Amino acid sequence: MDGDFPLWLRAQHLLNFILIGMLIRSGIEMLSSLPRLWWRKDCAPGTEWLKFTKRELPKEEGVYTSLMDEKSLHPLLSLPGRENIGLGRHWHGLSVMFWVLNGLVYIILLFATGLWQRIVPTSWDVIPQAWESLKMYLSFEVPDISHFEPYDALQMLGYTFVIFILAPFQMLTGVAMSPAIRSRFPWYVKMWGGHQGARSLHFIGLVIFTGFIVMHVSLVFLVHRDRNIVNMVFGGGEVTTARAAQALVVMVAVIVAVIVFWIALSYWSLADRVRAQKFTAGVTEIGRKIFLNHLRPLGAKKKAYTDKDISEFHWTNGLPPTQEESQLWVEARDNDWEGLTITLRDDLNDVEKTLTVEDLKKLPRHSYVATHTCMQGWSATSRWTGVRLTDLMEVLGPRPEGARYLLTESYGLAQKMYDNRPREPFYAAIDLETMAEEESILAYERNDHDIEDYLGAPARLRVESNHGYKHVKWVSRVMWVRDYADYGDGRGGTREDSALQAFNGRI
């Protein structure tokens, strides 16, 4: 029987509950990969406003990496748990896609059926009425059932806030952390106080959401419980002892099933992380295709970032090659890059050319100010100068037929490998559209001086529409390839292979 609470409403409420739980748990996984929050745009050590780690950050640049800062959480708490930032991000993306879809359908039906009038206050009387309810709750009393028609004033205010303010706020601060959005709409990210502003506000939103859920679920059971659960389970009708008992059994069973499902997702992911990556990144790629892939950096048209935005501090991920990793790089470093070359290669036809750093600097220069974001959470703004990847690869001639990706390798080895096998050279592949973007360069200067050793000297990749893991440092070789599936573990890069991140680094 459909009473005051139609089936669509109850089904959407349940779906929302499942998805919010997934969002919170995967959000905690993402936060644990860099358990600190800043308002300052460069994330300088010691300037956090909140941290969930006892580790002290060294003040010196280039000695401590964000990978070293990652915390391992229990799979009962986070999704999936155990330092799986890649999978955590995919689960967050997958849940948010369904959560937004569910929310849109809900809003449409709410207005189509007129049920919005029970939630959205249409008179200012709601404020004094809500105040009365609040005073009652604070003195451990309960407003009479007659106040709930079906919601009382305090509920109306709370629900309106969560549905029309908090949920959109989380969506807006969430997308502000995407590098594709930032490079196309830099003013938008600035509006939130930059990447760190968006990240910190998103976290505050999470805390408010969690607080709301705890209150909301508690009040269901504390205030006119029988009526609430009969409405939630049966949609309304008479509140008899028998129906209330039935409803309670169903409710508790459903809640237990949802909790089991949440935890099962963690263990399903950890049991075969490659399978989990394929599934979750496959689903989220649909969202990236629709919303992010066609966004191109504003480039020279961009006025939002200038030299005034340049950060004082720059975090690091990946440490410079050691003697064991690359004797060549270490010797060249001590010798003004004498003897070091960067190879341009067509891996389809086995053709290559080598460039010295001097050769590189003779190619057309391109310079701009941009914010770097590591998907773990830190950011830094610098002026980057180098040669556009399209200009660079022209040195080798026209793009070979069949080449669909550009794969860049490093003199340095990966910090960590999947399954802890011996470390291989760090690499990352990008597609042709990303390569052709105005802010995809092989950089050799930062802030008008040679790039620091730890930031990728003598040359490193910059792909501003993507997160940091695509920006290969200490570049040894750039090559045309048919398909990235033929290299490494076949997922398109070291961080994709080792941490199961997405090939597409736009969010």
374 binds Mo ion (CB under 5 A): yes
- Answer for which of 205, 468, 488, 493 binds Mo ion (CB under 5 A) is 468
* Choices 338-346, 380-388, 460-468, 474-482; region in contact with Mo ion by CB under 5 A: 460-468
The residue range among 15-23, 158-166, 216-224, 366-374 that interacts with Mo ion, by the rule CB under 5 A, is 366-374
Cβ atoms < 10 Å from Cβ of 188:
15
Distance CA 406, CA 152 (A): 60
Copy the structure tokens of residue 297.
């950096």
**Least Å distance between CB 439 and ligand MTE?**
15
Q: Least Å distance between CB 468 and Mo ion?
A: 4
For ligand MTE, the closer CB: 60 or 401: 60
What character string, x for contact with ligand MTE (CB under 6 A) and - otherwise, covers 467-496?
Answer: -xx-xxxx--------------------x-
What is the sign of the dihedral through the CA atoms of 114, 116, 122 and 128? positive
* Binding mask of the shown chain, residues 299 to 318, with x at each position contacting ligand MTE by CB under 6 A: ---------------xxxxx
Residue 85 touching Mo ion (CB under 5 A): no
Residue 500 vs residues 74, 185, 290, 304: alpha-carbon distances, Å:
19, 28, 22, 33
Strand partners, 397: none
For the chain, the distance separating the N- and C-terminal CA atoms, rounded to the nearest angstrom, is 44
Q: Which is nearer to Mo ion, 86 or 468 (CB)?
A: 468
Phi-psi region of 501 (alpha: psi -120 to 50; beta: other; left: phi over 0): beta
CB of 420 to Mo ion, least distance (A): 19
Q: Which amino acid is located at 275 in the chain?
A: R
User: Which of these ranges, 35-43, 257-265, 269-277, 407-415, lies near ligand MTE under the rule CB under 6 A?
Assistant: 407-415
Q: Does 501 bind Mo ion (CB under 5 A)?
A: no
Closest to 505 measured CA to CA, from 274, 189, 302, 281: 281
Told to check if 179 binds Mo ion by CB under 5 A, we report no
Question: Which backbone phi and psi does 354 adopt, to 5 degrees?
Answer: -115, 145
Q: Applying CB under 5 A, which part among 18-26, 167-175, 261-269, 374-382 lies near Mo ion?
A: 374-382
When the beta carbons of 155 and 317 are compared against ligand MTE, the nearer one is 317
| CB closer to ligand MTE, 5 vs 315 | 315
Give me the least distance between CB of 195 and Mo ion, in Å please: 13
Say how many CA atoms lie within 13 Å of 403 toward its Cβ.
25
Torsion sign, CA atoms 288, 289, 290, 296 = positive
Among 129, 277, 317, 371, the residue binding Mo ion under the rule CB under 5 A is: 317
List the single partner that 474 binds among Mo ion, ligand MTE, none, CB under 5 to 8 Å by kind.
ligand MTE
**Sequence-separated (6 or more) residues with CB below 8 Å from residue 449:** none
Residues in a beta bridge with 33: none
Whether residue 458 has a cis bond before it, omega within 30° of 0:
yes
Out of Mo ion, ligand MTE, none, what residue 357 binds, judged by CB under 5 to 8 A for its kind, is: none
d(CA 361, CA 367): 12
Q: Which residues bind ligand MTE (CB under 6 A)?
A: 314-318, 374, 410, 412, 415, 426, 455-456, 468-469, 471-474, 495
Chain positions contacting Mo ion, by CB under 5 A: 317, 374, 468-469
